[in-house]
Amino acid sequence: MSNVLIIDDEKNICVSLSYALEDEHKVHWVLTPDEAFHYLENQPVDLVLLDLKLGCHDGIQVLKQLKHRHSHIPVIIMTGFGSIDSSVEAVKAGAYHYVSKPIVMDELKNLMGHALENAGLNKQVAHLNQLLKVQNGSSEIIGRSAAMEPVFTMIDKVKNINSTILILGESGTGKDLVAKAIHYSSNRQKYHYEAVNCTAIPFNLLESEFFGHKKGAFTGADSDRKGKFELCHKGTLFLDEIGDMDLSLQAKLLRVMQDKAITPVGSNQSVLVDVRLIAATNKDLKKAVEQGAFREDLYYRLDVITIKVPPLRQRKEDIPFLLQYFIKKYNRQFGKQITGAHRDVLFLLERYDFPGNVRELENIAERAVALSEGPVLTLADLPPLEASMSAASGSAAGTLPPGALAGRRLDDIERQAILDTLRSTAGSRKKAAALLGITERTLRNKLKEYH
């Protein structure tokens, strides 16, 4: 049964529609937009019936806000006779269609059927596009370095194995992308994939989020709700930052893994689930076990197959490809036409340690594309890179390991000194020239030689 939300300021109409539709749909109704948006944020909704006249509220504005937040949900407008112009405006604003009051139920049910069918088709198209994206090799996992080869090999090996997978890696390395790649290339790809950040859900809602709840189980539980495990039946559930999961919930997760069943909050009946679990963490779980912060039995249940995602500092050959990908991404977002980055930018980035990994590189690229005024990114577009540089670069103070410069060309050493100094001054040529003991004109000429 589909979940239908009615938004109308007339209670009698809400009640009448609920009675008329309850045999075919799960119906919930609210009287105000605020109640509607609260419900939409916390409950699954497949279709909305929205009254165009909501007291002091503009139904068109409510519609626009609803479509902005939940673009996938079809909306059918209900309007009084003589408001056809407004109804046409509503359709232009994103409504699926409209019905006139007094409502003819057969007409409404027929329209609802078409809207739900259309939404289902759109969902299938989106899913197929995701499959094509993965199958065509254009997934967001970008890497040609030797350090990434074991990751791609393991994804291919384990994609159709139902064993639990534990993905290890520092924050920002792209563990979530590895989980997606496994699911969308597996024999579970036609079913649901859900990612849950174990640190982002309030503690008092964790159990309900995972296992669902029955109506009346607690304050605010005004209808039944499926949890992530039930939604992912036959699919994949990705538990990110599992090292931060509360111990009491760890025990319940272990029970689910053993029994292959969940019990919704407020229910005495268990529900069988077939879910492929993928977990990820940036923590040392063995150490957490020793410290009593993580259950040993759950650790061994999770640590069946392990994939280690290398930090960006160990796969610097991938930086040019990652940077180009992010430039294209933010070109689309900001309406820019930047073609790439100057080689000095790449030279600098490839020598930076990236404590924030790929996520930090993306942030740098986003800022650079947003602020750049030229056709290519330059050093002036980069933010100050304050973290340590790799050992090969030495330090801005000039303290290098003995023999570090032996055998290197003088023009290479000069070029490195200039770029390092520009980095330390956040791209300020005036400050860099002063530190180097040369004029700005000389510095400008040197930079032109490197172009």
What does the pLDDT profile of the chain (451 residues) look like in tens digits?
A: 889 999 999 999 999 999 999 989 999 999 999 999 999 988 889 999 999 888 888 888 999 999 888 888 999 998 875 566 676 788 888 888 888 888 889 999 999 999 998 888 777 666 555 555 554 443 568 888 889 999 999 999 999 999 999 999 999 999 999 999 999 989 999 899 999 998 877 777 778 889 999 888 887 777 888 999 999 999 999 999 999 998 988 999 999 999 999 999 888 899 999 999 999 999 999 999 999 999 999 999 999 999 999 999 999 999 999 999 999 999 999 999 999 998 888 888 988 889 999 999 999 999 999 999 989 998 888 887 754 444 334 444 444 555 656 667 777 778 878 887 877 776 778 888 888 888 888 888 887 776 5
Separation in Å, CA 193 to CA 57, 419, 445: 37, 45, 55
**The token pair that represents 106 in the structure block:** 């057969």
Asked if the 315-450 domain carries CATH number 3.40.50.1820, the reply is no
Give 372-414 as a DSSP string.
Answer: --SSEE-GGGSPP--SPBPGGG--TT----TTTTTT--HHHHH
Q: How far apart are CA 306 and CA 324, in angstroms?
A: 30
Burial class of residue 205 in the structure, from the number of CB atoms within 10 Å of its CB (0-12 exposed, 13-18 middle, 19+ buried): middle
Same fold, 141-310 and 315-450: no
Residue pair 352/382 in contact by the 8 Å Cβ criterion: no
Tokens at residue 271, please? 């529900």
The topology (CATH level 3) of 141-310 is: Rossmann fold (3.40.50)
Q: Determine the pLDDT at residue 404.
A: 57
Tell me the Cα Rg of the chain: 28
Residue partners of 206: CB distance under 8 A and separation at least 6: 198, 246, 249
Q: Is 365 helix (H, G, I), strand (E, B) or coil?
A: helix
**What are the residue ranges spanned by the domains of the chain?**
2-126, 141-310, 315-450
Which residues, in sequence order, are CB contacts of 261 under 8 Å at separation 6+?
270, 271, 272, 273
pLDDT tens readout for residues 357-402: 999 999 999 999 999 998 999 888 888 775 444 433 444 444 455 5
Transcribe 317-362 into DSSP letters: GGHHHHHHHHHHHHHHHHT----EE-HHHHHHHTTB--TTHHHHHH
Provide the CATH topology of domain 2-126. Rossmann fold (3.40.50)
Which string of DSSP letters, residue by residue, matches 183-199?
HHTSTTTTS-EEEEETT
- SS3 at position 450: helix
Q: Is the peptide bond before 355 cis (omega within 30 degrees of 0)?
A: no
